[in-house]
Amino acid sequence: MSEKPLAALKNQNVAEITFADHTRLALQVFSDTIIRVCPIDALANPSYAVVAKPQPTHFTVQVEAGVAAISTAALHVKIYPDHHMDVYDQNDRPLIMDYRGQRQPLNRDLAADETSLLEEEGHAGHEAVNAAAALTLIKQLDPDEVFYGLGDKTGFMNKRGYEYENWNTDDPAPQMENFTRLYKSIPVLYGLRQGRPYGLFFDNPYRSHVDLGKESPDYYAYSVVHGPLNYYIIGGHRLADVVTNYAHLTGTVPLPQRWTLGYQHSRYGYQDAPEINQIADDFRQHDLPCDALYFDIDYMHGYRVFTWDPARYPDPEMLITQLHKKGFKAITIIDPGVKREPGYPIYDDGKKHQVFVKTPAGKDYVNRVWPGHTVYPDFGSTKTRQWWGQCHTALTQIGVDGIWNDMNEPAAFDGPIPDDTVFSDNDKKSTHAKMHNLYGHNMSHATYAALKEQTGRRPFVITRAAYAGTQRYATVWTGDNHSLWAHLQMMIPQLCNLSMSGFSFAGTDLGGFGSDTTPELLTRWIEAGLFSPLFRNHSALGTRRQEPWLFGESTLAIYRKYLKLRYRFVPYLYDLFALAQSTGRPVMRPLVYDFDQDRQVYDIDDEYLIGDALLAAPVVTKGKTSRLVYLPAGQWIDFWTGAVIAGGQEIQTAAPLDTLPLYGQAGTMIPWGPAHDFITDEPDRAMSFKVFGDAASYDHYQDNGYDFAYQKGEFNQYHITFAQGKAAVTLTKAGYPAGLYSRITVTAGDQSFALQLENGKYQRIDKN
């Protein structure tokens, strides 16, 4: 400890640390709870993920006994002469401590020639990024430490004991717990160390590796193949605070159009316009609410993007008009790969404007995806994003309502894209190695900007590939899952960790995409996914079709029950999205988000919260008709029976095939919307509110549900209270007069109160 840092200086919002070996480290203070760590010469590097700016924050920089200390009101960081760093909370309790021991790599008993033999036989040899890592962080692992986040990586809710790679990958095999990488790279990690929360966000898009105690119970590690080492320390009193701090750092989910919260149906394999129209008619004839139908790649002419097959869809504009008249929105898939075919207008125009990714020799890089040999738009270029956006007029001008971006990892059938392929990075020349994980992000940005400009509505963009911050542009789904009970079970950890990673608008393919579903599996999936923000059934060509009327009357009846129930909850979900935009609070949450001091919830994988009012405990195991449910502290009300149940205990509850165990937290209230077959631009004229328990208050948000007028103050806010047997409604903002409810009903148990709007105030008119 005799060797001292040469300097520890405070320069505006940066603490500059210079070590004896002349390396220089910056700690950039964004706020009391967020500190960025990077080399000083990387401070000015732009980020695709981070949108927050450093705020004026009081902090101190001191050097004592050779140790530099940087302190805010919430975080204390100590830096040692040997480059080690420790982070403490405001009470000097350890949060993130460097590991000082010897690393213990796993012995996999594989020599290079043995790895080659395995690969020849069809087995994948273990590709450890840390073997080629340029930079590695190793942190001490506490015996009780648990981890969350990292987007939709496979496995259980608590990520301790797993290893993962951040390298966006399209793998059509059934994604099981041993998959280390999927379609997204969202390198934010949340930890609880002896109940104390923290976050680490590694903002480096190069391929990286995270080991969360698999290699050793003594440490966890982050490795990346190329620098700089650039990460954020995130603090907060509660885990919920850490999550919302990260959300504000990378941007919150924008308020979606209201109809996007309704049920959506899709299949890869719909043959033509008559079939699509018949599917729409069948939904209405079977009394099944539905808001959107999807067009997968087979709507295109030879899989050429921005085209329609002239034989199967001779008049797509008429078809979309017909769907709109029936209450359906039309969503079309768009892949990034452009068929290399002279005479194809999109290809010719792209060649003219030089928008495609290049080889190091300066030629268009060519690989193969659905249309055959293809070229790839260079979305890191502003010019390319604008060009790509303009291509969408072919769809928006005929009424397409949303765009589904797929294959944008980017996928490639003829082997991986070489690392040295030339991509743009903020209009500067870069490589595939750096821009790979950002490809879907930049494509989503281009699509979002195009839809906003061309339609004037809040864009509905879905993307399979993403990076941190993509939530600002697109909703996501977890990719090509399968009709397996294991994938139903994985849905809850995936969506909850996505939600905590900034992606509140997320979903899985209900029923499973690959393989054949069964009546029981489809039923349990529609129940488990009732509150999935993106509520979409999607299945693959060659698998059993998943229209619910094909599974018999009993399955159809249950499916109908939960679709109708979903629409009653849409106003609550919309409120939660308004809160998500303004506060960063996720919509769908693991129990640990709200109850981070209850160690019983740390490893719960089959329950989730919807806001702070509802707890869902679906059956996700074949053949089960009852289950154990853990209810956290407090009182809970059975949604179906009204029974009051004490929390802080595990209960056994009946769950026959038509029942989703669902509970309301006492002291909360939710809006309970009217029944709908589909959601229109017309506002509801009446709204009900359900009270759980003896007293509650609630703030309800309302706007027109489709455009950006709310950003100009055109929205309404209502404050609803129920206490001592009395209900009251206060209109706290009336910026959207056309939408004001003429009647509001508040129900609590067997009590019901009706209030009517008179002269700008809600007056009680009825009690029974």
Q: How far is CA 625 from the centre of its chain?
A: 31
Q: Is the peptide bond before 410 cis (omega within 30 degrees of 0)?
A: yes
In the chain, the largest separation of any two C-alpha atoms, in whole Å, equals 83
- CB atoms closer than 10 angstroms to residue 227: 14
The rounded distance, in Å, linking the Cα atoms of 501 and 182 is: 15
316 token code pair: 């797509």
The torsion angle over the Cα atoms of residues 459, 465, 471 and 473, rounded to 10 degrees, is -30
The rounded distance, in Å, linking the Cα atoms of 312 and 273 is: 6
393 token code pair: 């007029």
Which secondary structure element, helix H or strand E, spans residue 280, and what is its range? helix 273-285
The rounded distance, in Å, linking the Cα atoms of 470 and 466 is: 6
Give, in order, the Cα–Cα distances in Å from 362 to each of 336, 358, 415.
20, 5, 20
The rounded distance, in Å, linking the Cα atoms of 77 and 72 is: 9
Active site residue 480: yes
What single letter denotes the amino acid at residue 261?
A: L
Q: Which of 378, 401, 409, 425 is catalytic?
A: 409
Q: Which of 89, 98, 378, 406 is catalytic?
A: 406
The rounded distance, in Å, linking the Cα atoms of 179 and 164 is: 8
Q: Which of 165, 241, 378, 480 is catalytic?
A: 480
- CB atoms closer than 10 angstroms to residue 742: 12
DSSP class of 301:
B
Active site residue 296: no
Q: Which residues are 467's β-sheet partners?
A: 185
**In contact, 638 and 684? CB cutoff 8 Å:** no
Active site residue 406: yes
The rounded distance, in Å, linking the Cα atoms of 677 and 552 is: 21
Listed residue (143, 162, 158, 33) closest to 87, CA to CA: 33
The rounded distance, in Å, linking the Cα atoms of 33 and 233 is: 8
Listed residue (333, 408, 385, 473) closest to 168, CA to CA: 408
DSSP class of 457:
B
Listed residue (83, 84, 80) closest to 96, CA to CA: 84
Strands 196-202 and 231-234: antiparallel
Listed residue (337, 513, 301) closest to 412, CA to CA: 337
The three-state secondary structure class of 664 is: strand
Listed residue (66, 68, 73, 74) closest to 95, CA to CA: 74
**In contact, 511 and 539? CB cutoff 8 Å:** yes
The rounded distance, in Å, linking the Cα atoms of 695 and 353 is: 63
The rounded distance, in Å, linking the Cα atoms of 631 and 600 is: 10
User: Catalytic residue positions?
Assistant: 406, 409, 480
